[in-house]
Structure 1
Amino acid sequence: MTETPSPTRPIDARAGTGSWRDGVQTTISRLRNPAYTGQNRCLPCTGVNVGLTAAAAFGVGTVSPTAGAVVGGLGLAAIWLRGYVVPGTPALTKRYLPDRVLAWFDKTPSGDALGGIDPEAYLRTAGAITDGPDGDIAVTPSTRAALIDGVAELDSDDRLARALAETLSLPPSDVTVRPEGVGYAARVGGQPAGRWESRLALATDLAAHQIFSERVGGWRALPADTRASLLGAFRLALDSCPGCDGDVILGSDTAESCCRAYDVLVASCESCGSRLFEVDAALTDEDATV
């Protein structure tokens, strides 16, 4: 009995394309080190590694151009995925690069995130701050009451993440927040998206954002970096902690980046110890000089 052959199925050249790309992306995600890439990338360390990779590729290339290109390509790929290729890079960078060079890399971008807005004038117009009895800036009673209530509602990381997702117009499932080092960090889709001095600093920003959204026309139309700068200025104006009602005091401390230590000015709660604001002391010195 002759067996009837089954019909041949046409081959789809596109079959497997999606899974192939997913596999590559999964592999890249596994190889990437988020502690030293993305927003956490250390520019001095990256610069040192690129320079060393270029020197190694040039040296090998004088013997074999092909091998030199391979060394350069692999080195750059490692720097892109891992942050650096030479073991012990932070220690090497800290030891051999002058502090003035490291400080230059740590400075904030020169562009004016406020877009010419005077933060004190803006916060006064918004009804958020006024003159205190001692002549210093003080948060208005109504704003303070609303801020305390708003911070109290953000009593879990899940609520913080949902509130942050709402401010960014993102699905809540895309945003996570968690402790990171001495501060608090946010991630969107697994990638670094922001860092705050403490959990309370993040909760304060989110509560203040909601207050300004309800009271200030055009608040949400401002660029995200402008709103972030104004929220930071508002935190600096606080004289009492929105979490425990303790006094907020100004002081100094030493902070550590990937490869250097530097002085910072800190506004923190005397009672609970939460940091509400932190800035590189060198930047404030430069502003005073100007």
Structure 2
Amino acid sequence: MAYFEHGSAQTALDSHPEPADVSGRDRDNVLVEHGVLVPCDGGADFCLTDAVRRAWTDALDAIGADVDAALSESALVDAESSEFVVDESAGDFAVSVDGAHAGRWPSREAFLADAAGAVALASELPGWHGLSSRTRGIALGELRLFLDRCPSCGGDPGFQRRTEATCCRTRTVTTMRCADCDASFVEVVGA
């Protein structure tokens, strides 16, 4: 999911080809390994720490629905905001810089959630900016699953599941969407 949304393993803008302080063993568990997600419900689930939840909420409030503010505040892409090109023509939210793909999200709202998440994680997770863009993208995609309000309308995100059948196979698609404005935050296609 996050790999598709945030581009290839190393974009042209990525100056960190390997994580700075995360081993290969825990690369895909950055949020757990660094205490951003902690066991809750008797160990049956994971929850955000209160500090990260507050930092994320504060960042969401500060950024609002302003894409330019989100781009400059989050440092999701290493470039000046005047160099960004945003494309929403394909039904998703894509950012490029000087013609190079910098990232893709399922919606503007998913991008805003990730931008605020990047601000929060930079303040709460030591070495955040030293991680590769791929590792940060995976962590932000995982963090987005804990979103409790839509960045644009304030509505409640919820999960939906549907089955798609074609001539050759059937697959289950699980999505996380805003109940009020229908913004897409996550889409996972299963077998």
Q: Report if TM-score (shorter chain) is over 0.5.
A: yes
2:140 matched to which residue of 1?
231
Match of 2:112 among 203, 211, 219: 203
Q: 2:78 aligns with which of 169, 173, 185?
A: 169
More displaced 10-residue stretch of structure 1: 192-201 or 166-175: 166-175
Name stretches of at least 5 consecutive residues in structure 2 with no aligned partner. Answer: 1-6, 8-22, 165-169
Aligned match for 2:69, one of 154, 159, 167: 159
Q: Which residue pairs with 1:265 in the alignment?
A: 174
Q: Secondary structure at the match of 1:240?
A: coil
Query: What is aligned with 2:36?
Result: 128
Code of the residue aligned with 1:205 in structure 2: it is: D
Deviation at 1:179, TM superposition (A): 2.1
Deviation at 1:245, TM superposition (A): 5.3
TM-score by length of 2: 0.69
Aligned partner of 2:128 in structure 1 is 219
Indicate if the aligned counterparts of 2:27 and 2:135 stay in contact, CA closer than 8 A: no
Structure 2 CA distance for aligned equivalents of residues 246 and 239 of structure 1: 11
Q: Return the alpha-carbon distance in structure 2 between the equivalents of residues 168 and 192 of structure 1.
A: 10
Aligned identity (percent) is 26
Larger proportion of strand = 2
1:253, distance to aligned residue in structure 2 (A): 4.8
The runs of at least 4 consecutive aligned structure 1 residues that moved more than 6 Å come to: none
Match of 1:240 in 2: 148
Distance 1:118 1:158, change over 3 A: closer
Change over 3 Å in CA distance of 1:275–1:269 after alignment to 2: same
Shift of 1:195: 0.9
SS of the residue corresponding to residue 152 of structure 1 reads helix
Matched, 1:145 2:54: yes
Structure richer in helix, relative to its length: 1
Query: Residue 168 of structure 1 aligns to a residue in which SS?
Result: coil
Amino acid at match of 1:157: V
Structure 1: runs of 5+ lacking an equivalent = 1-38, 40-113, 256-260, 283-290
Instruction: Tell me the CA shift for residue 184 of structure 1.
Output: 0.9
For 1:159, give the aligned amino acid: A
CA distance in 1, matches of 2:91, 2:127: 34
Which of the pair has more CA radius of gyration? 1
Matches within 5 A, 1:1-290: 115-117=24-26, 119-120=28-29, 122-133=30-41, 135-154=44-63, 155-163=65-73, 166-236=75-145, 238=146, 240-241=148-149, 243=151, 246-253=155-162, 264-282=173-191
> Cα gap change, 1:209/1:173 in structure 2, threshold over 3 Å: closer, same or farther?
same
Alpha-carbon shift at residue 185 of structure 1 (Å): 1.0
Q: Which has the higher contact order (CA 8 A, sep 6+)?
A: 2
